[in-house]
A = this chain, B = another copy of it.
Amino acid sequence: MSKVTLDERRFRERFEEFNEIGATAAGGVDRPALSDENRAARDLLVEWFRDAGLEVRIDEMGNIFGRREGREPDADPVLFGSHVDSQYNGGRFDGVVGVLGALEVVQALDDAGVVTDRPLEVVSWSNEEGVRFQPDMLGSGVYAGQFDLEYALGVEDDDGRTFGDELERIGYDGDAPCEADGVHCYFELHVEQGPYLEDAGLSVGVVEGVFGFSWMNVAFEGQANHAGPTPMDMRQDAFVATADVTKAVRELTATGGEDLVGTVGSVDVWPNAINVIPERVEFTVDVRSYDDDVVDRAVDRVREEVAWAADREGLEFAFEEIMRLDASAFDDDCIETIAAAAADAGYEYERLVSGAGHDASYLNAIAPTGMIFVPSVDGVSHRESEFTEWADVVAGTEVLLRAVREQATV
């Protein structure tokens, strides 16, 4: 293959300019899905796609595609990208690296005058993070047939605004059908969000699959009462039961499976007053493993512990599993393509499994899929201090470029 060189300076300048949108004082970005900041980021992305000669297509879920024709326009395209929505006060790398890296790949091909056999499509998926609208990975989920379009457009944020209405408000309610119509394969470059690559001193990771996970909503309902004159044996304290379940989730990770992780992340207490026994607590439990049986057992154990804790404290309870995704093993051919690309580019790499869910998990169900990881400093993500060395971003993008070229060759 002829030599294609990334323009590191252009790539870096774009990255910095892009992250001025929704920039926070602490060095992060605040661009949750379908916010005004997310719209501004989308607008800039579409402008850059058009400047790069890509044919822009917005689908019914607001997913943004930029197509570069190949020598064989009827061949299924190679699709690659990530997302540009962020956590509330999230980091600058999560998602952005994969989308702007993909854009850099097609421009580097342009610069070198390289036309691939297959068409290339760069993509930015809607609502990967799932912080404003649940479930997460909504755009890729509809695209891959995991959710109905009507359901996805109807999900509401905490203020009761629907995804569909907000999509229309920001002008990204596109006409293109949100469905896969022949994808040769999908690649996604992303920050690792864990400590392994940094600990191993590597710039690149070849992702073999993604943990399965379960998201659970739990509510306990007891009796609000004065914290002084209410004897201990009369109490129905919804927060004590929440503490029970939280400790049980932690303990479960010690015994429930080698790679099992568990988190109580969101907790809301009513009436939340210093001298009133908590009447109601709503909280979430997140459990993940690469082994679906481990997740199954963990969910059962959490459900049982919720019932036991409610019984001990005399509470009503509600338990709902709101999201479940099986572990996914990526396509062997895509994995080997990425591994070979890393080796050809001169990077040592490690094969690893992702603890975080990604759009690639859904894409994997409908097309051969692979992912490239670059290191996260201190394993940190979903925070303003999230950081990846620029040389590592470039290394990952170089691997993406080579993998895309390989798969785009008929």
Residues of A within 8 A of B (CB): 87-89, 130-131, 134, 136, 192-195, 211, 213, 215, 223-232, 234, 237, 239-240, 242-244, 246-247, 250, 253-254, 261, 263-269, 271-279, 284, 286, 288, 354-357, 379-383
Contact = CB atoms under 8 A, between A and B. Distances in A.
A206 to B, nearest CB: 15
A224 B267 contact: no
Contact of A267 (B134, B269, B355, B381): B269
B261 A228 contact: yes
26 contacts: A87-B273, A88-B271, A134-B274, A193-B225, A194-B228, A194-B231, A195-B234, A223-B380, A224-B382, A225-B379, A228-B261, A228-B288, A229-B356, A232-B253, A234-B379, A237-B263, A239-B265, A239-B267, A240-B246, A265-B274, A265-B276, A265-B277, A266-B272, A267-B272, A267-B278, A275-B382
Contacts of A228: 193-194, 211, 213, 261, 286, 288, 354-357
B268 A239 contact: no
Contacts of A232: 253-254, 261
A211 B227 CA distance: 12
Contacts of A88: 271, 273
A231 B288 CA distance: 11
A233 to B, nearest CB: 10
Contacts of A227: 261, 263, 265, 286, 288
B273 A226 contact: no
A353 to B, nearest CB: 9
Number of this chain's copies in the complex: 2
A230 B194 contact: yes
A193 B223 CA distance: 13
A261 B42 CA distance: 55
Given A228-B355, A253-B232, A268 B261 contact: no
A200 to B, nearest CB: 14
Contacts of A286: 227-228, 274-275
Given A230-B261, A265-B277, A268-B272, 15 more contacts: A87-B273, A88-B271, A130-B275, A193-B229, A194-B229, A223-B383, A224-B382, A225-B379, A228-B354, A229-B356, A230-B355, A232-B254, A244-B247, A263-B277, A265-B273
Contacts of A215: 274-275
A131 B273 contact: yes
A364 to B, nearest CB: 16
B226 A276 contact: no
A250 to B, nearest CB: 5
A265 B281 CA distance: 11
A382 B226 contact: yes
A239 B283 CA distance: 11
Given A239-B264, A263-B237, A380-B223, A271 B89 contact: yes
Contacts of A87: 271, 273, 276
Instruction: Pick the 8 closest A-B CB pairs, nearest first.
Output: A229-B355, A194-B229, A228-B355, A227-B263, A243-B246, A243-B243, A228-B356, A274-B284
Contacts of A231: 194-195, 261
Nearest to A279: B383
A226 B354 CA distance: 11
B246 A383 contact: no
Contact of A239 (B193, B237, B246): B246
A193 to B, nearest CB: 4
Nearest to A89: B271
Contacts of A274: 130, 134, 215, 265-266, 284, 286
A356 B286 CA distance: 39
